Each structure stands twice: as structure tokens, then as C-alpha cells.
Structure 1
Amino acid sequence: MSHQVREKAIGLATGGQGEDDAISSSAIELSLLPSTSVPPIETTSFKNRQAFDGQDGIITSSSPPLSPPTSGALSISKAKGVTVIATLAGMSFLNSMGSGILIAALPRIAKDVGLPQGLILWPAVVYALAAGCLLLIFGAIADVVGAKLMWVVGSFLFAIFTIAIGLARTSIQIILFRTLLGAAISMCLPTAVSLITNTFPKGTWRNIAFAMNGMGQPLGFALGLVLGGIFTDTIGWRWSYYMMAIINLCISIASIWSLPSIHHHSEKRWTRRLLEDIDWLGTVILSVALGVLLYVLAVTTSSYRNIGDTQNIVLLIVSGVLLGAFPCWMHYQCKKSRPALIPNRLWGNASFTSICISVFLCWGSLNGIQYFTTLYFQQIQGLSALQSSIRFIPHVIMGTVTNIVTAYLISRVRVQTLAVISALVTMICPILMATIKVNENYWFAPFWALLLSPMNPDVLFTVSNLVISDAFPADVQSLAGGVFNEVSQFGNSVGLAVTAAIAASVTEHTGIRDPKEALMEGYRAAFWISFASHALVVIVVFFGLKKGGTVGKKDQ
């Protein structure tokens, strides 16, 4: 096929008019077929999707079809469909469960393994650092070698390193195994999008799958907090990780039978596709840039004074240069009709860009709310790890209910309406915590803050997955998952670093003699930052999703 025809096809796929950018990071050739050769593609979701269907025909692969099931009917048994959903949601559950356990048990873990105070946040930081650096790389590789293979390998490795954390005896071992655990989860998170879209047709089943996958996050985090608190105060924090590993092994074994084998037909061998169909330089540029930036943020989280160190300033400059070079490289790749990791044209899609910005801000705000609410219970009110964890139960309940309701509403209510209303509700939470008294009654403010805080993140999780998966072609769905998880992971890290630095600075310069009051002033500042972040989410989704309709409707 000529470059002119291929670029025209790509332009249609992205809803653009120029010929300088490409939508796919895979070099699979596209061809234009008559519109009668395949069923029409859903066009009610977003304006740019209409470009797929028209006088120029439908875009498809020159090889056997790569698109996920679109008939509207489930092609597998309901039992297997439920197992797929439970398996993928289970890994999302375990991902956040480990974070919940760590927050609840971190003081005891630090004492048992001799973790210095200056490194007390590093078990959490290195996990995010490893995952953030590798998400896009493993997402791109999975689209070549197969999403199932990547997911299963990552799942078993996750179980092995979880056991290793429970057996760790030194601070170095804890940090090392948490790093490897982050690498393992980065093999699973991106591939979930591809596995869902290639298993379930558009409609109820796919909506439920994404919603349940989203439910796993708040449910896992809160249960991790509760179990971490219970085990830390009774038989020991190590048993929390052993229980995680047992659940993980059951999920991993079930995945071998339940997950679909996804093969994108190509005349090339998979080894050649790895070399030629992946934008390796673009992947390395972006991963290194974000990895370096995440490292600086991690150091800043430990102490806000570290931001002024010469080493960190140099690293920030390096990260900035690489981030600036990335879109230039994307332009060059697309101009030469070569694979591009995240083509610049994609950011012209207002819905895609708005979702990415909203997820970044929303996840950063949620991480700050969860972290400083936990500290408020333990360091301000003097509650035990168990007592603090139990107070997060409303968080779990609302997270579960929100995802169930979102699965029902997603194909019936405009995404703009869902996103704006949920953001306005969640915006109440940091206000309640920022104006709270040191000895405030739990039922007056903390209860409502924890009850409402997961609403916007959980709505955005389902909406984002559907929007982002629609923005990418079927043969790069794992990369699409990598983009989503990269944005949310980066938002988590930035949110924690910024709020922790501001809280520490305010506490130090407040001039209040009472230690608890001084500490609380810092926490209030952090909560106000979370409020500002959510206010920006409201603005972004209101204007950015204006042209968005509904998503998740099954194809006719």
C-alpha cells in the first residue's frame, strides 16, 4: 500500500486532516475497504469516531480482523466471562491492597527491618517508580508477544515477590522486593485493557468488566488498610503479605484457563515485530524522563528541602529536556510513516486529552486525601493502626457502590455529566478535612470525607478506560492501558510529593508551639491543595467533554 493511502487511513482513524502523525505504534498496514464489507462502527460516543464510517469506508487491517468483538453477544460462556472479570479485577485489587497494607503497617515494618526514618517512604516510592518506568514498555511488548502471556507472567512474579516481602529481614530487602513488585505489576496493569476489549463486545459486559476492574482499587486499598491494621496489632504484618500471595496464586492459576489468547495476525515473526513495530526510542525517552522525574518527586516526598540539591536540579533539567524531545520525536516518526508511541495527533482529541489531565489531577488528589487522613487518625488523634483502618470502611462501601452504579449509567448518561457531578461531590471531601478540628468527632466530618472521596476517581476510572481504549486501535490496546496507568501512576506520585512537601513546609514555618496543632496546619494545607486539584478536574471535564456523548453502548 502506498504511504499516501496509509496516511489517509490513519488520518481518518484519528479524526484529523493532516498527514504528519500516525495513530498506531504498530506498523501493521491499514487498508480502506468498502463500507459494506464490515458492520458500521459505533459513532455515538465521540465526534472523532464518526470518521471511521463514511464514504471513504471502514478502516481495518489488511490481515484478518484485529478489532475486538463487536457483535454485542458474548462469545464465551457466562461462567468464563465472570472468571475473566474476577481475575482482572483481582489483580487491580491486589495492586492497591499492597499499598493499603504498607500504609497501615509501615511504622512497624520500619522498626522490624531497621528502616531509617529518612527512607521510611521508600518502600512505597520505589514501587511507583518501577511501575511508572516500565508500564509503557511492557504495554508495547504485550501487543506483540500477547497480552495473556505478559499478564500471566507478571501475575506469578507478583506472587513470588509478595512472599519475598513477607520474608524480608532487612531494609535493603524490603526496598528491593518492593521495586521488583512494581516491575511485576507493570506487566499486568496495561494488558487488562486489551484483555477486556478483546473478550467482551461493546455493551453491558464490557462496561461491567471495566467498572469491576475499577472497583478493585478502592476495595483493595481499604481492605489492605484493615487487614494491615489487624495483622500488625495481632499476629504480625508479614501475614498480610502471605494472605495476598495466596489470593494472588489462585488468581494466577485461574488466569491460565480464563484469559483469552490474543493474536494479532501478521506476516512478520514476533521477533521481527519486536524490533520493527515498536517505537523503542520513543518508549525509552518517555520512560526515562518520567522515571527521573518520579525519582526526584520521591526524594522530595522524604524531605522538601531535597528539591534544592544540585543533583535533583540537574535531574529535573534532564527530565524536562527529554519530555520536550518526546513530541519532536513523535512528529519525526509519523512524518517518516514509522511506529510512534503516542502520536501527537492523539492529543488533538479533546476527550482523550481531558481524560488524561483529569485522571492525573484526580488520582493525585485522592492519594493525598487517603495518605493525610490516615496520618490525621494516627498522628493527630493517636489512634492505633487497627482503629484507623476500620474508619476507612465507608471508603470501601462507596467505592463498591459507585462502580456498580457507573457500570449501569455509563451507556445511558453523558460522560460529561457523570464526570462533572462526581467531581463536584468529591470536591467536598478535602474541604471537610481542611476545616476539621484536632479532636473532631469521626461522624461529623471524617466519615463524610471518606464516604464521598472515591466517587470521582471511580467514575473516571471506568470512563477513562472506555475513552482511551476507543482512542487506540485494537492492536495497541495494551499500550492504551499503559497510557492510562502511566497517567494515574504519575498523578499519584506528583500528588503525594507536592502535598507532602507543602505540608512539611507549612508545619515547620507555622510558628505554633503545640506539635499537634502545628502538624495539623500542614495537613490542612495538603487538603486545600487536594481541593484545588479537584476544582481543576471540574473545569477540565466540563469543557473537555462537552462534545462527548455516551460510551459503552453495544454496536448495532
Structure 2
Amino acid sequence: MASADEKSTLSLMQQADNGASMARTGQSASSVSPEGTDTTGSTATAEAPTPTQDNADAEKAGAKPANTFGERPACFRNTVQEGAFVFQATMATATSSFSQGASAIITASIGHSLDMTQGQITWITASTALTAGAFQLGLGQLADLLGRKATFIVGMGSFSAFSLLVAFAQNPFWMDVVCGILGISSAMVVPPAIGIMGAAYATPSKRKNLAFSAFSAGNPLGFVFGSIVSGIATMIFNWRAAYIFIAILWVIFTLLAIWTIPKVEAFPPDQPFRERLKTFMKTFDFVGTALTIFGTGLLTAGVTIGPDDEWKGKWVIALIVIGVALLVIFAWWETVYPTPPMPPHIWKDRNFTFIILSCLPGYMSFISSQFWLSFFMQEVQHLKPLTVAVHLLPQAIAGLIYNGIAGSVLHRINNTLLLVIGSCAYVAAAVLLSVMKLNSPYWAFIFPSLILAVVGADFQFNVANMYVMQSLPPHQQALAGGIFNTIFRLSSAIALGLSTAVFSSTKSSAAAMADIMVPYEKAFQVSIGLSAGSFLFLPFVRLGTQGHAPKSVDADTSDGIQTPSVVLEGERSRGEKQESVSEREKI
């Protein structure tokens, strides 16, 4: 199941370990071919000293030469375990989107089998995203206080168990509710995975960039691979077999996690479990978690179900108003609660705020477009699930390629430019789908749309993930991952609710009766509007390059001296509060 991206990452890590071993025995490690870096961590120019000269100067100064690719973290026994962990972490972030992708290409089959309305069909995917986002922050606290490895293993195991339960669903209520529980299980695995990665790869390096590049691939590519696996299982048996296969797959991942996941915790190793449990009960934000769940749930339910009642029912408006009110109360509550799951101070970081706001609309567009494109292929083109999966396969292949590219250029190319490229790709992908006609060729519209959409997902997720991991201190790494994934998961549910409302409202119109493509065009136009929203915030992002390797390690310190891992445009480098960046990052 390991992808080409993870295999190449493992190979590079092994090369770096070999080079580091040779350096320690006095041999040359030139086969690794590291690039020189200047004092701000940016790529060296032609006039800059060579790595060999830098290392020689470092040795004369009493420092040991740096491995610019990065040393293997001490928590891993060998490179094989490291590569296996990165793969497991990638599957962790892919868990929710994998489930959504698996469901997306068989929604029509499930809907016909269980006699579901359009709103109920949408909730198969929306319920998973909703609960995954609503519980993410709370489970991030749980992972940090009670144990990251244990939380990860329980999450993977419960996801397998509830996937099996979904396979035996007998009615719409059973289906939607258990899919919502799947979202809770998927929310359990992401914060500990990010927390362990953040603690293990504390030193900025190319090795860290590759690890986080593979990790970032899970979210957008999980959807595609989930659809492929689901399509194969459904073709051989039926839609229920898809969930049975997922259950088997996650049992394997659970067993592998026992060996691959290192014990890297946020609490002291000698702290008793009872004391940690007591701390958890005192500090966990039960009120904030409840406000998030009910606020987002009621809002999404009102928007999704409203069209079925033609927006005439007073209860629909009540759901939306109460949902919004609860979310507003949640925002206020976080400012007064002593240990909030979403610390208000995190939003004082200008770049963090605007990076999230820039990436969010595009991801909402991505999820909405994927859902309606899959539904269009099933309902209008009458394609079988496996055929739908094959049509989506180019996106997975392109995603692996673009993800590798993104991970290798984070420390070279202005990251704000990468965000702009991603936003442009999202808009172009949605435009292609919105102008598509009933008999339009696949290669002229759907294929290029798939390729462009994954450009936006890969580029923006790599930039955002790298920055988010550097916005909070190490002991709150799982919380940082929870904040990032919470916002994106909740936005997915809202995006599906909005597009479903537009689709359902136009489905029975006179124009839709004359042209079956009208409701789909309107749904894709929602994606255009969402993706275009990114450009409202991009001008405020001031981000240069990220993930630079440290130049040298001081011989007198065990932790080493790290150069800034983020270079800002026109601002002070993160981690260097006394020195300003000498010149603006050049591309």
C-alpha cells in the first residue's frame, strides 16, 4: 500500500543515514550531495561557500559539520521504522478523506439501496467531516495528556470496527449516524500523528520537509485512493463490501502501529496515569467541545435539509440561527476558559491566520467538486463505481508527483507564490467543471480539472502544514494539528451543505427539467465562488521560504543551534528576534 512518494522519501532518508554514518567515521559523505545554505537558511548562491568549506570552517570553530539533509530522529530504531511511521502518519491524515472518497463513488448505490433523499445522501459524507472536525481539538488535548501512541492505536482500531458496522446498515439513520462515528475515530489519529512528527522532526531540514510532504499528501489523496478501493470492492461484490475491505485494511494498520509508532509523549515519562487523567478532567474543555459539535451540526443540518422543505419550515431557519449563535458563543468561550482547545493567541500570528483563511476556501471547493463530480458520473453518465474510480485515478497519480515537487521546493521558492498558484489551480478546476456539458469529452474537461484541483491541494497543504507545525511550542504540537484539521473538516461539512442546498433548490426548476446539467452546473459554480474567496486573503500573507536545514551544530550543546526555519517577507525571521532578515526572498 506504500505510495511512490513514501518509497522515494524512504530512499532519500536511507541515503542521508549512510552519509551521516560515513561522516562519523571520517569518510566523505558527498554521495548525499547536500546543498549549501546561508545564515538565513536559503539556498546558497554561486558565491557562497561550498558544503565542504562550511563543514571545514565549522570544525575549526569547534562545531561538528551538519548533515544538511537531516539526521534520523533518535526515537526511531532504524530508517525502516521511520519510513513505516511516516506512511502510518500519512494514512492517519487520510483516514477521514479515505472514508469520504470511498462513500462518494457509491452514494447513488447506497441511496437506491436504502431509499435515501438527496439530503440524507449528502450526510453520508458530511457527517464524517462534521464529527471529525468537531472532536479534533478535544481529542488533540486527550492525546497530549493521556498518550499519543495509545490514542492513535485506539483510533485506528475503532475506525476499523465502525467501518464494519456501516457495511450492515439497514436504513438511512443507521448509515448517517455510524458514518458520523467514523469521523470521531478518524479525529483520534491525526493529532497524535502530528504531535509525534512535530516532536521527532524538531530540527528544520530537507528530511523534515520530505516527511511532512508525504504526510500532507494524505488529506487530498486519501479521497482518491478511497474511491479506487471502494470501486474495486463494489465491482466484485456490492457497496457493502467496500466498507468490509476498509475494515480489514485498518485492522492491518492498527497492528502495524504497535511497532511503527514511537513513544513520543507530551508528558514526563514518570508521570502516573492517574495524575494525567486527573489533569485531563480538570483541563478538558467539555463546554467548548459541545458548542462546536452542536453549533456546526445544527448549521449544516439546516442548510442541507432546507431545500427538501423548500425553505418554508420555521424549524429550518431556527436550526441555522441556533447553529450560528452556538458558534459565536464558542468563539467567546475560548477567550475566557483557562485551557481552551483553540487558544486565542494563535490567531495573533498574522501569517497563521491568513494562511488558514487563504487555504480554507480552496479546500471547501475541492471537497464539494469531488462529491458532485462523482455523483454526476453515477447518476447522469451511469458509470459503474470502478469506472468512476478509474476516471479519478489521474488525480491520484498527479497528486503524488505534485506532492513530491511541493515538498522539495518549500525551502527554495517563495511560499506565498505557492499559495497563489494553488488558488489559481482551484479556480480553473471549478470553472472547467461548471462549463462542462452532458456529452463533453472527459479529456477536455474532467481530466484537466482533476489535475488542476490536486495542484491546489498539494501546494497549499504543504505550505499550511509546515507553518502550522511551527506556530505552537513542541508540547502543543498535537493541538496545532487539531486546530488545522478541525477548521478544514468543519468547513467540508459546511461546503457540502451549501452546494447541496443549491443543487436541491434548482433540481426541480423548469430549467433543470429541460436540461439535466443545470443543477450540477450550479453546484460547480458554488465551487468557483468558494475557491475565488482565497484571493481575498492572499495579499495579506507575508511568507518567504520554510524548512531550511541548520548550518551547523555547536559541539558544546546537545540540542544544537537552529537557523530560522521560516523566512518572512519584510519581517523578522521566526526564532531570530534580534536580527532582521537582510534581504527579501528572491525566487
State the Cα deviation string for residues 222-253 of structure 1 (Å, max 9, x = none): 23323333332332222222222222112111
Change beyond 3 A, Cα 1:379–1:174: closer
Return the alpha-carbon distance in structure 2 between the equivalents of residues 499 and 173 of structure 1: 24
State the Cα deviation string for residues 419-466 of structure 1 (Å, max 9, x = none): 111221232111111122220111111111112111112222222222
Residue in structure 2 matched with residue 386 of structure 1 by the alignment: 386
Deviation at 1:117, TM superposition (A): 5.8
Return the alpha-carbon distance in structure 2 between the equivalents of residues 290 and 480 of structure 1: 20
Query: Percent sequence identity over matched residues?
Result: 24
Change beyond 3 A, Cα 1:254–1:232: closer
The one-letter amino acid paired with 1:244 is I
Residue in structure 1 matched with residue 34 of structure 2 by the alignment: none
Q: Which moved more, 1:448-457 or 1:228-237?
A: 228-237
Residue in structure 1 matched with residue 71 of structure 2 by the alignment: 73
Q: Is the 8 A contact 2:511 2:518 kept in 1?
A: no
2:232 is the alignment partner of 1:230 = yes
Residue in structure 2 matched with residue 554 of structure 1 by the alignment: 549
Deviation at 1:189, TM superposition (A): 2.0
Return the alpha-carbon distance in structure 1 between the equivalents of residues 177 and 294 of structure 2: 19
Q: Is the 8 A contact 1:132 1:291 kept in 2?
A: no
SS in 1 for 2:511: coil
The one-letter amino acid paired with 1:235 is F
What is the TM-score of this pair, normalised by structure 1? 0.80
Q: Is the 8 A contact 1:94 1:248 kept in 2?
A: no
Q: Is the 8 A contact 2:302 2:319 kept in 1?
A: yes
The one-letter amino acid paired with 1:206 is K
Return the alpha-carbon distance in structure 1 between the equivalents of residues 83 and 283 of structure 2: 33
Q: Which moved more, 1:446-455 or 1:284-293?
A: 284-293
The one-letter amino acid paired with 2:408 is Y
Change beyond 3 A, Cα 1:145–1:44: farther
Residue in structure 2 matched with residue 470 of structure 1 by the alignment: 470
* CA RMSD, Structure 1 to Structure 2 (Å): 2.6
User: What aligned pairs does 1:315-394 form with structure 2 within 5 A after superposition?
Assistant: 315-333=319-337, 338-394=338-394
Return the alpha-carbon distance in structure 2 between the equivalents of residues 283 and 479 of structure 1: 14
Listed as ranges, the gaps of 5+ residues in structure 2 are 1-38, 43-67, 551-561, 563-587
User: What aligned pairs does 1:297-316 form with structure 2 within 5 A after superposition?
Assistant: 297-300=303-306, 303=307, 305=309, 307-316=311-320
Deviation at 1:296, TM superposition (A): 2.8
Q: Which moved more, 1:87-96 or 1:169-178?
A: 169-178
Listed as ranges, the gaps of 5+ residues in structure 1 are 1-41, 46-69
The one-letter amino acid paired with 2:325 is V
Return the alpha-carbon distance in structure 2 between the equivalents of residues 444 and 434 of structure 1: 13
Return the alpha-carbon distance in structure 1 between the equivalents of residues 327 and 110 of structure 2: 36
Deviation at 1:72, TM superposition (A): 4.5
The one-letter amino acid paired with 2:535 is V
What is the TM-score of this pair, normalised by structure 2? 0.76
Return the alpha-carbon distance in structure 2 between the equivalents of residues 289 and 444 of structure 1: 41
2:538 is the alignment partner of 1:532 = no
Return the alpha-carbon distance in structure 2 between the equivalents of residues 406 and 453 of structure 1: 14
Change beyond 3 A, Cα 1:280–1:225: closer
Return the alpha-carbon distance in structure 2 between the equivalents of residues 121 and 342 of structure 1: 28
Deviation at 1:342, TM superposition (A): 2.4
The one-letter amino acid paired with 2:318 is V
Return the alpha-carbon distance in structure 1 between the equivalents of residues 513 and 172 of structure 2: 34
Return the alpha-carbon distance in structure 1 between the equivalents of residues 331 and 126 of structure 2: 27
Change beyond 3 A, Cα 1:257–1:501: same
Q: Which moved more, 1:177-186 or 1:288-297?
A: 288-297
Return the alpha-carbon distance in structure 1 between the equivalents of residues 357 and 535 of structure 2: 11
Deviation at 1:513, TM superposition (A): 4.2
Q: Is the 8 A contact 1:189 1:481 kept in 2?
A: yes
Residue in structure 2 matched with residue 175 of structure 1 by the alignment: 176
Q: Is the 8 A contact 1:129 1:295 kept in 2?
A: no
Return the alpha-carbon distance in structure 2 between the equivalents of residues 119 and 512 of structure 1: 21
Residue in structure 1 matched with residue 198 of structure 2 by the alignment: 197
Residue in structure 2 matched with residue 428 of structure 1 by the alignment: 428
Return the alpha-carbon distance in structure 1 between the equivalents of residues 108 and 245 of structure 2: 20
Change beyond 3 A, Cα 1:473–1:307: farther
Change beyond 3 A, Cα 1:133–1:297: farther
The one-letter amino acid paired with 2:544 is G
2:267 is the alignment partner of 1:270 = no
Return the alpha-carbon distance in structure 2 between the equivalents of residues 183 and 385 of structure 1: 26
User: What aligned pairs does 1:231-270 form with structure 2 within 5 A after superposition?
Assistant: 231-265=233-267, 269-270=275-276
Deviation at 1:167, TM superposition (A): 3.4
2:306 is the alignment partner of 1:293 = no
The one-letter amino acid paired with 1:257 is W
Return the alpha-carbon distance in structure 2 between the equivalents of residues 172 and 320 of structure 1: 25
Return the alpha-carbon distance in structure 1 between the equivalents of residues 212 and 81 of structure 2: 16
SS in 1 for 2:546: coil
Deviation at 1:84, TM superposition (A): 0.6
Residue in structure 1 matched with residue 559 of structure 2 by the alignment: none
State the Cα deviation string for residues 71-121 of structure 1 (Å, max 9, x = none): 952223211110111111123334322222212222223344454566333
Deviation at 1:407, TM superposition (A): 1.0
Query: Which of structure 1's runs of 4+ aligned residues deviate more than 6 A?
Result: 42-45
Residue in structure 1 matched with residue 449 of structure 2 by the alignment: 449
Deviation at 1:44, TM superposition (A): 7.2
